[in-house]
Structure 1
């Protein structure tokens, strides 16, 4: 990343603004739902916390597990712009189903599956429109603008659900996707020069039927996974094991130098797995920790505890330009493996500060919101150091013939992490019939400490191995 000048915001092409708006409103819809979904499961569908976390983790796994399908459709089958419009229509249909589900599983599960599949088809395609033209300065600005959609949604959606109705809150996501579709239809002439070769080709009836069949099968598969929550982890486990077997089979055909680099990619996939497992504690264990044990006052202003989830994109907007400028200045003095290690150290610290804060709880078992604000700050800087840099390493090191396969593994890693995150979040659930806030706070503290220590051990190993990994990345570039 490189530093961002203030005037950059007002000195971009119309295509840049259009794609940024698409991403902003899609995130508004997706994260608006995500921030209240586990609460809806518990408070409206009356699921146990364990069942709510499991159902939520399967939903997120589906949303990320199908990203490679969307990338394939955009790059090779129907084109990026058609994929964006199609996925937006699919997501909007899913949100509409949620609005009219009225807490009935007959519409709720199909709606949830439809949203997840649509998100997977949409996710990488806006950035792909810009990748051929813009440098990383603009991509940093693009992600900052997109974060505004997440912040607005996380602040507004819980407030609407709390003061009015859950269905109205779901309607905000419908509105967000409606705006995406409107911008795609009426602003398509700004994207005439963007896209892939598939964008320039007409879609035959055969291709249309193929795409329709793939999407229909994906949605049916998603509904089946959501309804059969104990089967879903086994299905994903089989897919992940198959990917690992194919991964090692492919790298054995490579030259020794390239095999070493692919070994680095495998380590990176593990790092991303750990990071995303931690990241998904935000809408699950951290969210319920905020509800049960964090003061709702910030600068004497009362917030809903669910709104604290907005701290993650807020801190990203605040720290991204500064971190980008710092890394740009350090240049080769701080190689990427060292930056990844620093990111993991910060992620560890983000959980370790919470048990520390718990030691200063009041008589009701509540701690100051400042501890959670600090936790989110550390986590968000770690986020910037791991997530974006990890993808840069993949793009640099993976040979072109394996890039699509490694990208698929990358997003399967996110899906596997989602299911793991749900299991970890379940460990923070207090025992049944326990109304004592001290027992609940002690349990949260114990598991946040455990998460922090395990992550710290991984971080130390990353720090120790960073020089070796850097040499493996640099060896025999050609």
Structure 2
């Protein structure tokens, strides 16, 4: 019988009594998030206000960039684990990402450097993203990742508050330079703290890298950047490329899939159901820098407790709520134990994500004469969304890892990140539906449109949540059978 997976309460973890590897890896993740989420907080606004794209075009460009950033994770993981080693992949990914931010800093708002810069960041993100967690899992129990994620969230908080403020009061290029600064600190910590990672990594880390491998990796990265730049200029092609890669993955593993026993095939089917749930969640999550960001600009009071904020800074509510609620949620799940298995937690998370959008049309009924609502409604929406985030993002991957056969781990991992990439492309299309007609100057028309689409998103997510509630007992039984 499988014991219910729980997140250990933060109260049981001593922040000052962890392995030094933990501190190094947490700092690396903190500063990488500082760079990534600072850029994410202003990127769509930059497209609209500086590059003078329409909101619809800005949403599509941003979603393509995010899809590339997550789509390349599978390639980056393969290079790190099988070719150059995950420690080298960390450093290489940091250098590539920093190069992309440098291109943005010196772009002078010209597409000739903006698009290659974003492409370079996306490729570097693919090389870097899964490595810190992989290193941490070597020495640190999975159920104690709560502290790691909370510490990493501080990087997001600092950058989301600081980056829009610098862009607003000084210059966009100076705001982009914060990304360079964050990755410079990652590289410095890697150089001076590399001895803490000597006993960790993959087999490839223990062997020297031949010159031909260095040249091969260089060519792969260069081709990936050129290819990504092309897709950023031709966004309509991105979904087709993603579909081809998805089908190619299935065909590559087809022999292993058809040889599975009936029970294993059933588990793979359940995993794809869970991936569909993760797809929905990530579509909702990417409304934060897109439709929810512009909703805050156009229809949310910019004052909280008498303090004025830039509307794009409201994105900081997501990591703030994660830090506040993660220890409480961990303690609650720890107390409930086997009374609340993981699939039921996933279903609850989806219910909360649905509620986070449904409260916004309700809030519209209390708007003032200018079509603005109190910031408290947005704070509530982010609170519900963030608790749902905690219940879905990490726990979903735990379920997948529990159920997938060992010989198909790489296949499912690739599909997992392709799911994120597909969700990013879908999120841009949905966000574009909230844009008011160009000839409309009435704030009520815009508010009504936001309310309509947030209601649709909330209802659709509620349907998914109901299906999750119904299927949770079945998934739980299958997880238990997998442990026998």
TM (norm. structure 1) is 0.98
Aligned partners of 1:377, 1:337: CA distance in 2, in Å? Answer: 21
- Structure 1 segment 81-160 matched on structure 2, within 5 A: 81-160=87-166
How many equivalent residue pairs? Answer: 478
Aligned partners of 1:440, 1:256: CA distance in 2, in Å? Answer: 52
Alignment match, 1:363: 369
Alignment match, 1:424: 430
Alignment match, 2:404: 398
User: Once the two structures are superposed, what CA deviation does each residue of 1:217-241 show, in whole Å capped at 9, x if it has no partner?
Assistant: 1111100100111222222233234
> CA contact under 8 A between 1:341 and 1:463: conserved in structure 2?
yes
Structure 2 residue matching 1:36: 3-state secondary structure? helix
Alignment match, 2:442: 436
User: Once the two structures are superposed, what CA deviation does each residue of 1:120-179 show, in whole Å capped at 9, x if it has no partner?
Assistant: 110000111111110135411111000000000000000000000000000011000110
Alignment match, 1:289: 295
Structure 2 residue matching 1:209: 3-state secondary structure? helix
Alignment RMSD: 1.3
Compared CA separation, residues 131 and 443, structure 1 to 2 (3 A): same
1:470 to 464, 470, 476: 476
- 1:25 deviates by 0.3
Unpaired segments ≥5 residues, structure 2: 1-6
Are 1:258 and 2:264 matched, yes or no? yes
- 1:246 deviates by 5.7
- 1:7 deviates by 6.0
Are 1:195 and 2:183 matched, yes or no? no
Aligned partners of 1:246, 1:48: CA distance in 2, in Å? Answer: 40
- 1:10 deviates by 1.2
> CA contact under 8 A between 1:41 and 1:52: conserved in structure 2?
yes
- Structure 1 segment 381-392 matched on structure 2, within 5 A: 381-392=387-398
Alignment match, 1:43: 49
Aligned partners of 1:230, 1:347: CA distance in 2, in Å? Answer: 29
Are 1:267 and 2:260 matched, yes or no? no
- 1:29 deviates by 0.3
> CA contact under 8 A between 1:70 and 1:125: conserved in structure 2?
no
Structure 2 residue matching 1:195: 3-state secondary structure? coil
Alignment match, 2:31: 25
Structure 2 residue matching 1:82: 3-state secondary structure? helix
Moved more, 123-132 or 53-62: 123-132
- 1:216 deviates by 1.0
Aligned partners of 1:242, 1:265: CA distance in 2, in Å? Answer: 19
> CA contact under 8 A between 1:264 and 1:473: conserved in structure 2?
no
Alignment match, 2:310: 304
Compared CA separation, residues 273 and 390, structure 1 to 2 (3 A): same
Structure 2 residue matching 1:101: 3-state secondary structure? coil
Aligned partners of 1:441, 1:245: CA distance in 2, in Å? Answer: 46
Alignment match, 1:52: 58
- Structure 1 segment 151-230 matched on structure 2, within 5 A: 151-230=157-236
> CA contact under 8 A between 2:403 and 2:482: conserved in structure 1?
no
Moved more, 319-328 or 159-168: 319-328
- 1:397 deviates by 1.3
1:9 to 7, 15, 21: 15
> CA contact under 8 A between 1:3 and 1:137: conserved in structure 2?
no
User: Once the two structures are superposed, what CA deviation does each residue of 1:27-61 show, in whole Å capped at 9, x if it has no partner?
Assistant: 00000000100000000000000000000000000
TM (norm. structure 2) is 0.97
Aligned partners of 2:387, 2:88: CA distance in 1, in Å? Answer: 35
Compared CA separation, residues 226 and 383, structure 1 to 2 (3 A): same
